[in-house]
Structure 1
Amino acid sequence: MIKLKSQKQIEKMREAGKLLASCHQALRNLVKPGITTLELDQFVESFLLERGAKPAQKGYMGYPFATCASVNHEVCHGLPNKNVLKNGDIITIDFVVNLNGWLADSAWSYGVGTISQESQRLMDATKKAMYKGIEQAQVGNRLGDIGYAIQSYAEKKGYSIVKEFIGHGIGRNIHEDPQVHHVGERNTGTTLKEGMVITIEPIFNKGMPYITMKSDGWTSVTFDRSLSAQYEHTIAITKEGPIILTEQF
C-alpha cells in the first residue's frame, strides 16, 4: 500500500534530506587517494550522530554499517573495509538518514583523485539519467514514464542498466511501496499522486547489465567486472512538480 505524505511530513523528510546532502558535500573533500571506505563510513556515522540523526541502514536486515561503499566494478551494497582507495577509482557512497523518525536516502558517485574520461562519462551519464527520471515525476504521470526516460538515455549513451536494484517509496521505513523501476514503457504502471515520496536511483554499467554476488553476501558486482556508477535522490511528488528532498547545493 502506498502511503501518501502530508506537506508537514514531507517537510520533516526534507530536513532529513538536507542533513544527508550536507554530509555528501563534506564527503567530497574526504574522498581522495589513501583513505579507506571504513574511514568514510565512520565519518558519516559520526556526522549524523553529532547532529541528532541516525544512520538508518545500520542494523537494517542485519546490515552492519552506516553506509554502502561500492568501488569500481562493485554495483551496490559494498561493505566498508580497510582497503585504501587509489587514484583513478570511482566509488558510490549510499546511505539513509533517520532524523526524528523520518527518512531520506541518497547515493552519489565520486571520482578518487584523477579519473579516466571513460569513468567520468559513465558517472555523468548516470547522474543525467537520474535527473531525466526526476523530470517525469509529475502528478498524473506514471512510473513507467520515469523508467522510460532513464532507459532511453542509457541506450542513447551506450550503457546498460542494472535491473535487479530499483527505487522505492520511503517515509518512516526505508522501503515502502511503490517499486520504482529504471526501465519501462510510457503510460504504464502506477499513476503518480501528490504526497508520494520515492527514490530514483539508476545504476549504469559500462559493460553488460548482469551482476553477481560476492562471498560476503551483500556486495553486488558486475559480471564482466566493468565499471558501475549510481546516483540517487529522494523525491516528493507535489502539485508544483517534483521536489528533490536530498538536493545538494
Structure 2
Amino acid sequence: MIELKTPAEIDRMHVAGRFVAEVLTEVGRLADVGVNLLDLEHHVRGMIKRRGAESCYWDYSPSFGKGPFRNVICLSVNDAVLHGLPHDYVLRDGDMLTADIAVMVDGWAADSARTVIVGTPADEDLRIIRATEEALEAAIEVSRPGKRLGDISSAIGAVARDYGYPVNTEFGGHGIGRTMHGEPHVANKGRAGRGLKLRPGLTLALEPWFARTTDQIIYDADGWTIRSADGSRTAHSEHTIAITEEAPKVLTRR
C-alpha cells in the first residue's frame, strides 16, 4: 500500500534525512587510504547510538539476502555497488567506495547513498560518479504532481544512455516512510508517461546506479554484496525525496 504523507510527516522524515546526510558526509571525510571498512562501520554505529536513531539495516532479512544483515551501513568497493557487507578490508589509493545508509528517527525513515574516490581519482571513475549524480538530479526534477513513475525512470535511463552506460532494472528506487522499503518500485529505466501518477505526499528513495560495461550482476559468497558481473567499476547516488505541490523536496541533501 502506498501512503501519502502530510506536510508535518514529511518534516519528520526530513529530520531523519538530515541525519543520514550528516552520516554520509562524515563517511566521505573519513574514507582514506589505509582506513578499514570495519572502522567506518563502527564509527557509524556510534553516530547512530548517540543520535538515538535506529538502523534500518540491522536484522534486515529480505528475500534476496543471506540471513539477517548485521551491520548499520552498506560499504561497497570498486565493482561492488549494492548491499556491500562491511568486512576486514583496508582502502587503497584509487578505490571507489559506495556508502549507503538508511535510518529511522522517531518512527520515520530516510535513505541515501554516495560514491567517493579514495586518494587519487581516475577520470573514468569520476565520469561514472558524475553520471549517477546527474541521473539523480534529472529524476528529482521530474518528480512533480501530474507526472508519472515512468517519467522518473525515463529520466534516469536517458542520462545513462547519454553516457553510454547499461542499466540494470532488478534493483532501483522505492517508496519509503514508516519503513525503509515500500511500494512503488522505481526502475532506473522506463518509458515516460507510464505508470503510477505522482501526487503530493508521495515519498521516494531514488537511486540510480550504473556499472561501466554491463547490466548484469553477481553476488558474493556473503550472500549480500552485489557486483558487476564483468568486474567493471560501479557508482551509486541516492536521495530520499518528497513530492509536494510546489517542487520536489530533497530530504537527504548534504
**Could you say which TM-score interval applies, normalised by the shorter chain?**
over 0.9
For the pair 1:175 / 2:181, whether they are aligned, the reply is yes
Q: Which amino acid aligns with 1:146?
A: I
Match of 1:127 in 2: 133
User: SS in structure 2 opposite 1:75?
Assistant: strand
Q: Which residue of 1 aligns with 2:65?
A: none
Provide the residue aligned with 1:7 in structure 2: 7
1:178-231 Cα offsets, whole Å, 9 max, x none, are 111110111001000110000100111111111111111111111100001000
Show CA shifts across 1:97-149 (max 9, x none): 11011100001111101121100111111111111111110011001001111
Selected match of 2:120 from 110, 114, 121: 114
Partner of 1:50: 50
Q: 2:100 aligned with 1:88, yes or no?
A: no
Report the residue type matching 1:60 in the other structure.
Y
**Partner deviation per Cα, 1:70-118 (whole Å, 9 max, x = no partner):** 1000121110011101000001100101101110000111110112110
Distance (Å, rounded) in 1 between the aligned partners of 2:24 and 2:227: 23
Does residue 154 of structure 2 align to residue 148 of structure 1? Answer: yes
State how far apart, in whole Å, the 1-side matches of 2:75 and 2:168 are: 17
Q: CA shift at 1:56, angstroms?
A: 1.4
Query: Could you tell me which of 203, 212, 231 is aligned with 2:209?
Result: 203
| In 1: Cα distance, 2:227 partner to 2:182 partner | 25
- Counterpart secondary structure, 2:115: strand
Unaligned regions of 5+ residues in structure 1, if any?
none
**Residues of 1 paired with 2:22 and 2:185: CA distance?**
27
Question: Which residue matches 1:32?
Answer: 32
Aligned structure 1 segments of 4 or more residues deviating by more than 6 angstroms: none
Give structure 2 stretches of 5+ with no counterpart. 62-67
Within the candidate set 160, 165, 175, 1:159 is matched to: 165
Q: Deviations over 1:44-84 (max 9, x none)?
A: 11111101112111111111100111100012111001110
- Give the structure 2 partner of residue 60 of structure 1: 60
Please name the residue that 1:105 is paired with: 111
Hey, what does 1:139 align to over in structure 2?
145
On the 8 A contact 1:45/1:54 being kept in 2, the answer is no
Equivalent-residue separation in structure 2 for 1:38 and 1:5 (angstroms): 36
Q: Which secondary structure state, in structure 1, belongs to the residue aligned with residue 248 of structure 2? A: strand
Instruction: Identify the range of structure 1 (230-239 vs 56-65) with the bigger mean alpha-carbon deviation.
Output: 56-65
Count of residue correspondences:
248
Structure 2 Cα separation of the partners of residues 24 and 174 of structure 1? 17
CA offsets 1:24-46 (integer angstroms, 9 cap, x no match): 11122101011111111111111
Q: Which residue of 1 aligns with 2:16?
A: 16
Task: Say whether 1:247 aligns with 2:236.
Answer: no
Q: 1:57 touches 1:66 (CA, 8 Å); kept in 2?
A: yes
Deviation, structure 1 residue 162 = 2.2
Q: Is the 8 A contact 2:219 2:227 kept in 1?
A: yes
1:192 aligns with 2:192: no
- Give the letter aligned to residue 8 of structure 1: A
Report the aligned-residue RMSD. Answer: 0.8
Q: d(CA) in 2 for partners of 1:75 and 1:142?
A: 27
Q: Percent identity?
A: 40
Q: Distance in 1 between matches of 2:116 and 2:44?
A: 15
TM-score by length of 2: 0.96
Paired with 1:76 and 1:52, the residues of 2 have a C-alpha distance of 26
